[in-house]
Amino acid sequence: MGVFGIIGNERTNVASSVYYGLYALQHRGQESCGISVNDDGVFHTHKDSGLVNDVFTGQVLSSLGQGTMAIGHVRYGTLGTKARVNAEPLVVNHTKGHLAIATNGRLTNGSVLKQDLELKGMIFHTSSDAEIVSYMVIQERIKSASIEEAVSRAMDKLKGGYCLLMMSPKKIIAARDEMGMHPLCYGKRENGEYVIASETCALDSVGATFIRELEPGEILVFSKDGIKSIKDHCGKAKEALCVFEYVYTARPDSHIAGCSVHKARRKAGEYLASVKPVEADVVIGVPDSGLDAAIGYAQASGIPYGIGLIKNKYIGRTFIAPGQDVREDKVKIKLNPVSDTVAGKRVVLVDDSIVRGTTCARIVKLLRHAGAKEVHLRSSAPAFLNPCYYGTDVDSKENLIACIHTEEEIAKIVGVDSLAYLNLEDVTKIGASGTCSGFCTACFDGKYPTETPVMIRNKYENKLSESEN
């Protein structure tokens, strides 16, 4: 998921700016999108299922009008969610005004917070964390002097890996969880408008100059008076940036924690070349997030790099497509092999990761049909052995191929001559040149930086049982 916001002192066509920002963040979510424009305290919102350029036609953008600020969102649906009803930004009205909210990530204590809120009479219309957060903030807003104070109080009770972007009639509030699990940054345009986004590439798309990233736990308040930083939650937890941002999620032209995503992926390829060397004629990457690692692998191994797969640019990312059947259908039309590159050759195929194995098997079959003599699969991420509870769609263990089969069995299932993963000890090194002091690698090693939802639920149920007795 991705968030984008803009705020200035003059009424401008802010919806168009958010549109371009969301377009740059499309890789973070393809299921639904939305924009909410604030025109002197009146919110105009449009959201729907689909890609940014399909949902926001010229007519729709015009209907949103002008304003001094706006926020937007792109979403990919995790297992069991509905697209349209969960589209963000979520706009709510309360006794002290309006609030629009867009989120990235996931709460680990969302289910228990929701149950508590329902017991207090709250009615939920979505299954998204955004609605939970909005109720938490509204509860605190009633007894707080400002919206930022309410957000800070609500964050005392929010657990997990998340970024928040909220718009009140007069302010935009940006917040990042105490671990800094997902990226969030801001910049400034020449006309004085401030821009907040999940990735630096979105700042570039609207001509904003990058200023800095939010610190883990930091709250930034953007208003006509400038920017105010609230650091009440900073330093309360060890930093745990999701390393999968470097491996797959982020765009290669973005910088996260001061580290180039492109360079991080090339470094992953370099490390990967030493894991399980193989004699081969050409190295190819799976577009798009496997290309940089493939270049790094080729340079480190001395095997020539070639363009072996062409991506249909009108097809989105299969990993974040909702549902396994949809993923399989998209793979069929997403990629096509370049036979001149692979025919009669021993091919090293570099992919960013192997989660369910479906995509890899299909690609290998394409390469075999194109005449590849051998195919050696290399993953620029370690094996996925654990579900993610922080917003990446790595679900239960029974759907993770590495949990069910050995490397030899997986190689046979996907149809390759050999298979190797990036070493666990190397995955955090790829972003080591940046400013991040710690990474979350729980999907690889099971070392979760927080209590898991199951642990939180068990403690909650025990507490309820004790109170009843």
β-pair partners for 374: 346
Q: Are 397 and 387 in contact (CB under 8 A)?
A: yes
Q: Which helix (H) or strand (E) holds 220?
A: strand 219-223
Buried b (16+ CB within 10 A) or exposed e, 81-94: beeeebbbbbbbee
For Cα atoms 44, 184, 61, give the angle at the middle one, nearest 5 degrees: 25
- DSSP class of residue 339 equals H
Amino acid occupying residue 318:
T
β-pair partners for 90: 101
Residue keyed to tokens 């377009």 = 23
Q: Which of 163, 123, 158 shows the shortest CA–CA distance to 140? A: 158
Per-residue tokens: 235: 């330093």
Query: 0.95 cut: is pTM over it?
Result: no
Q: Are 376 and 416 in contact (CB under 8 A)?
A: yes
- CA distance linking residue 349 with residue 257, whole number of Å: 29
In the chain, what are the domains? 2-237 (3.60.20.10), 245-445 (3.40.50.2020)
pLDDT tens string for the chain (469 positions)? 999 999 999 999 999 999 999 999 999 999 999 999 999 999 999 999 999 999 999 999 999 999 999 999 999 875 445 568 999 999 999 888 899 999 999 999 999 999 999 999 999 999 999 999 999 999 999 999 999 999 999 999 999 999 999 999 999 999 999 999 999 999 999 999 999 999 999 999 999 999 999 999 999 999 999 999 999 999 999 999 999 999 999 999 999 999 999 999 999 999 999 999 999 999 999 999 899 999 999 999 999 999 999 998 776 555 445 554 544 455 667 899 999 999 999 999 999 999 988 889 999 999 999 999 999 999 999 999 999 999 987 878 888 999 999 999 999 999 999 999 999 999 999 999 899 999 999 999 999 999 999 999 999 998 887 777 6
